Amino acid sequence: MIALCMDSIQPELPTREEKFTMLETLREATDGKMFLEREYAQCTLKLVAMLEEDGKTDDAAKVIQEI
């Protein structure tokens, strides 16, 4: 289900804010689950890329340091 959301649903969302919210929700759903570490890392990298595009490098650095 997480892979489906990441690959199919999230890219189709109409606004950037909805995509951002979806990534945060997916990160929360996968956080701490050993069998979903890969998906957690992928969501985090996409989130960091979005933050860097917005010029929020400090926030991006804090998020990536969690991994």
> How many domains is the chain built from?
1
Query: Is pLDDT at 61 greater than 90 in this prediction?
Result: yes
Query: Is pLDDT at 4 greater than 90 in this prediction?
Result: no
If one counts every other C-beta atom within 10 angstroms of the C-beta of residue 30, the result is 20
Read off the pTM: 0.83
User: Residue 62's pLDDT band (boundaries 50, 70, 90)?
Assistant: very high
Range of the domain at 12: 2-65
Q: What is the CA radius of gyration of the chain?
A: 12
Query: Is pLDDT at 67 greater than 80 in this prediction?
Result: no
First to last CA, the chain: 22
Q: Which tens digit of pLDDT belongs to each residue from 8-59?
A: 888 888 988 998 899 899 999 998 899 999 999 999 999 999 999 989 999 9
